Amino acid sequence: MPRDPRYDILFEPVKIGPVTTKNRFYQVPHCNGMGRLHPDSMVAMRGMKAEGGWGIVSTEQCDFHPTADTTSYCETKLWDDTDIPYLAGMCNEVHKHGGLAAVELVHNGHDTGNLYSREVPIGPMDRPVTWLNHPVQARAMDREDIRAYRRWHRDAALRARKAGFDIVVVYAGHDGTMPSHFLARRHNQRTDEYGGSLENRVRLYRELLEDTLDAVGDTMGVVARFAVDEMMGPDGLEWEGEGRDAIEMMAEIPHMWDVNVADWDNDSMTSRFAPEGYQEEYVAFVKQVTSKPVSTVGRYTSPDAMVSAIKRGIVDLIGAARPSIADPFLPKKVEEGRIEDIRECIGCNICAAWNNVSAPSRCTQNPTFGEEWRKSWHPEQIAPKEFRIACAGGRCRAGRS
């Protein structure tokens, strides 16, 4: 069937710095329980998204230094050049279908116990590690540590370009990243130029964006992924307060803004408690203060809701994690006029539940998710059951396998 012209806007290209995405469908970074532990599975899963028409396909969070070791979670990592080959494999699969490959660089600061690397955790302040009650203490970074951290991030961006990525996502969200820890008053009680005022607390994130632009911004898109509201009232960032102020301070620095709410429980609320597009009220201001493209998430599954968000000036790109899991071919189904065939994400979060126990994720709507490589399962090409005859003890019976 021909595409409904109402949805033509979803297939317009969008320029992100020096690169251009073929449409407005952006598979935002999402964890999957495969990562560096099951790289072939991760590569095949991301490639399936690109085959399904997503214009941008991103990794999950990718830690870039031994002091950012996310063990026991199965994320990707980019510590040195030995990590390039499997990530290059993902880029190749995404490029094969005309998509842009994005990598989300992350350092989880005082959240990481560095169980594999055994490095001392670092962060804005001396404090216990908060992630999974790891029995270690994070130490406060001095100025030399901060300079080293910026260098590690820059080096990782250069390695990402070598791997073939088109976009670097600089991550400051979900109350679980070094820049978000520096930004939050409850995590940052420093008295130097990186603490105190909002301008000081946002300094590290601004420097990371500027460093990344300087290193790779001539050939790669640089995306700021930023939580504008922590849903904690005055105890955290609020979109009507410091969340908005921070965006305004850096409005024109990155090539694109990917904005959401924090922490993860709020960002990925279930359909039982939040309707489609529920984050719009928190992020609607961003396009008013920047000329750069803007994306957000909100369990978008209806092309009508997507078009509405674009036409109302909320976003330029539709971000999706869970909907891209439930139906990797959502963009192609819209493009081919097969709206009724979309497998709608129901927001049950079983995908996250399995990742949270460090196992490959699964999906109630898409049983092929996570099995694209191991079993060669394809969400749109399901082979018929084979008819077989089983015999035992001289007696035979027919059945399907």
E strand spans, 173-235: 221-229
Residue 271 covered by a domain: yes
pLDDT digits (tens, 9 = 90+) for 228-258: 999 999 888 899 999 999 999 999 999 999 9
Residue 388 covered by a domain: no
Tokens read off for 27:
């598979």
Q: Is 174 a catalytic residue?
A: yes
**Nearest-10 crossing angle of helices 203-216, 143-163:** 40
Nearest to 9, CA basis, from 316, 267, 246: 316
Residue 229 covered by a domain: yes
Q: Report the pLDDT value the prediction gives residue 266, as an integer from 0 to 100.
A: 84
Residue 386 covered by a domain: no
Q: Which of 63, 175, 267, 316 is catalytic?
A: 267
Residue 169 covered by a domain: yes
Q: Which of 73, 171, 282, 300 is catalytic?
A: 171
Residue 384 covered by a domain: no
Measured CA angle at 119 (ends 37, 167), to 5 deg: 55
CA pair distance 57, 93, nearest whole angstrom: 10
Tally of domains within the chain:
1
pLDDT digits (tens, 9 = 90+) for 318-375: 999 999 999 999 999 999 999 999 999 999 999 999 998 989 999 999 999 999 999 9
Q: Which of 110, 134, 153, 174 is catalytic?
A: 174
CA pair distance 133, 173, nearest whole angstrom: 21
pTM of the complete model? 0.94
pLDDT digits (tens, 9 = 90+) for 249-283: 999 999 999 999 998 788 888 888 889 999 999 99
Residue 389 covered by a domain: no
- Here the CATH number for the domain that contains residue 268 is 3.20.20.70
| Peptide bond connecting 117 to the previous residue in cis, omega within 30 degrees of 0 | no
Measured CA angle at 372 (ends 271, 381), to 5 deg: 85
Nearest to 12, CA basis, from 25, 22, 2: 22
Measured CA angle at 350 (ends 347, 351), to 5 deg: 90
Residue 391 covered by a domain: no
**Residue 393's pLDDT band (cuts 50, 70, 90):** low
State the residue range of the domain holding 224.
5-371
Q: Is 255 a catalytic residue?
A: no
Q: How far is CA 301 from CA 110, 269, 373, in A?
A: 35, 14, 25
